């Protein structure tokens, strides 16, 4: 009797079949989204405009600066072209100085020193601002040619060419009639903006934040000279 009972128990065990339906997991963790939102997208850690401001603060600063600089709009064409033509040689000068120092982290302090130099030059009548800035750039280039450069001769040559081209556009733009000069000075600002964005892409010579800031400033000033005067 015990043997028969044992046989019955072993023959009634259900056999696995391939036709058995597959049941999906029913645990809560299997069906829950992997992020903090119902759609599965990552939850925002804060208001997106605030996050964007943190990332793009050089662009925001540049836009605010240009608006404050050009908001008046009541100046004469010659005065506006003269002001932006005077400042144009400062842009390549900053690059050649920072290139020669070889430390992008000094970019913003060098900018501050450059602005202070512009103010000092504007307070005297012995030499014009653009001529003085071009002369300083040439002196730095001679220093680099004699002493050597931290980024190599090729990069030094590019910076020297930039200083020559942008300095020439400024000086010629100031020397000709303002109706023509505005286009030369605007070209200088615009193409220096391109110059900035190339350096931003390559992450070379200057700080990335400065390259972004300066590129936006340059392009907006070029637009102002061409279309808003």
Tokens matching residue 150: 């931290």
Is residue 219 included in any domain, yes or no?
yes
Is residue 162 included in any domain, yes or no?
yes
Q: pLDDT tens digits for 172-218?
A: 999 999 999 999 999 999 999 999 999 999 999 999 999 999 999 99
Are the CB atoms for 210 and 111 separated by under 8 Å? yes
Is residue 43 included in any domain, yes or no?
no
Structural domain that includes position 168: 83-227
pLDDT of 229 > 90? The answer is no
Q: pLDDT tens digits for 12-62?
A: 444 444 444 444 444 444 444 444 444 454 544 545 777 777 789 999 999
Is residue 138 included in any domain, yes or no?
yes
- Total of domains in the chain: 1
Closest CA to 87 of 4, 157, 6, 192: 192
> For residues 143 and 149, what is the distance between their CA atoms, to the nearest angstrom?
9
Is residue 51 included in any domain, yes or no?
no
Q: 183 CB contacts (<8 Å, ≥6 apart)? A: 173, 225, 226
Is residue 26 included in any domain, yes or no?
no
**Cα separations in angstroms, 70 against 47, 73, 123:** 31, 6, 22
Q: For the whole model, what pTM was predicted? A: 0.77
* Alpha helix positions (H), the chain: 2-11, 28-31, 48-55, 57-70, 77-87, 90-101, 107-122, 129-147, 153-175, 178-202, 208-227
Closest CA to 92 of 166, 177, 190: 166
Are the CB atoms for 65 and 72 separated by under 8 Å? no
């Amino acid at each position: 009797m015990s043997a028969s009972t044992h046989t019955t128990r072993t023959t009634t065990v259900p056999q696995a079949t391939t036709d058995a339906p597959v049941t999906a997991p029913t645990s809560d963790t299997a069906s829950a989204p992997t992020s903090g939102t119902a759609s599965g997208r990552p939850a925002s850690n804060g208001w997106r405009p605030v996050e964007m401001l943190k990332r793009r603060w050089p662009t925001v600063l540049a836009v605010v600066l240009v608006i404050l600089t050009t908001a008046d709009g009541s100046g004469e064409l010659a005065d506006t072209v003269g002001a932006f033509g005077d400042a144009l040689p400062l842009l390549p000068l900053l690059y050649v100085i920072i290139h020669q120092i070889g430390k992008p982290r000094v970019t913003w302090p060098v900018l501050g020193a450059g602005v202070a130099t512009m103010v000092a030059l504007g307070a005297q009548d012995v030499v014009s601002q653009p001529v003085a800035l071009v002369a300083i750039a040439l002196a730095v280039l001679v220093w680099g040619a004699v002493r050597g450069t931290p980024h190599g001769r090729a990069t030094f040559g590019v910076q020297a060419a930039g200083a020559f081209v942008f300095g020439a556009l400024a000086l010629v733009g100031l020397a000709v009639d303002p109706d023509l000069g505005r286009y030369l000075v605007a070209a200088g600002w615009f193409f220096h903006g391109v110059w900035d964005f190339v350096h931003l892409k390559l992450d070379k010579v200057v700080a990335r934040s400065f390259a972004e800031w300066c590129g936006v400033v340059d392009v907006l000033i070029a637009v102002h000279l061409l279309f808003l005067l």
